[in-house]
Amino acid sequence: MLSTPVRGALAALAATVIWSGNFVIARGVADAIPPATLAFFRWAVACVALAPFAWKPLRREWPQLRRNAGYLALTALLGVTLFNTLIYLAGRSTETLNLSLISTCIPAFILLLSRIFLGEALTPARLGGLAAALAGVLLLITRGHPETLLALQPNPGDLWMLLAALLFAAYSILVRRKPESISPTALLGASFGLGLLFLLPWTALEVALGPSPKFSPPVLGAIAYIGLGASLAAYWLWSRALTDIGPSRAGIIYYSLPLFSGIEAALLLGEPITWVHLASGALIIGGIRLSNR
């Protein structure tokens, strides 16, 4: 039998490995299926898989869900509809490692938004960590040539991913303010369902104006992976880790995500790992670690 700390650490590590694969998929299927369409099928698979577990809580808590319809709609829009679709949009024009490195800015954005909206203090360590993480993002966007900031034409994929990270931080703030009358399972079911509904117009526009998706076996496998793995299994594993070892220790393990994404991208997509990635990763991860001391 594994001890509780070991079990929690392994659960956090497994969730991180699964999530790192999401960035590889965002890059690997970018030419085969448009971003909103990919996100739509991802959440459709997740909704079908979650339905047997969420149906009873959704029915039981329907009055509370109706009373908090505005909160649920905003949560679904930020955390499901926009965040994941922007990742797939970013994957069309930037490398996998860039996506995963920029995603590690999410905790720093959470600190900043917590100060603005929740009144939490920004200590010198947190400010120093934010500055280091920002320096890492700028290094990554400028490809190691800071002088290009004077005539900046950054990779659009990096900017889309940066926006996605900011939106997920806002989503995390909303989740922290979850009404107590709504259970986690009901919140997950409602968020998945509403997020999928909000994706319909965007997906329809892509289908009408863009090229048709190419549903090859690898693409179908990728959809199954992100629908069942990144959307369900990873969230369950992460919840298990938070219960066993707490958010601080689990969060430290999450910072290994760029390592797994970089290894997977190098092995599966042939993407190079350069000194810019290593230096920016050290700044981002070191800065966030400092801000969470």
Mean pLDDT (the chain) is 82
Full residue range of the structural domain in which residue 157 is found? 4-291
**pLDDT of the residue at 88:** 92
Model confidence over 242-267: pLDDT tens digits? 678 766 566 666 766 776 777 777 77
- pTM, rounded to two decimals: 0.79
> Which residue pairs, CB below 8 angstroms and at least 24 apart, start in 123-127?
125/290, 125/291, 125/293, 126/290, 126/291, 126/292, 127/291
Model confidence over 175-193: pLDDT tens digits? 777 888 888 889 889 999 9
Higher pLDDT, 227 or 290: 227
Q: Where are the alpha helices (DSSP H) in the chain?
A: 4-28, 35-60, 62-67, 69-76, 83-90, 96-103, 106-113, 124-141, 156-176, 184-209, 217-224, 234-254, 257-268, 275-291
Q: Distance between CA atoms of 164 and 255, rounded to whole angstroms?
A: 17
Q: How many domains does the chain have?
A: 1
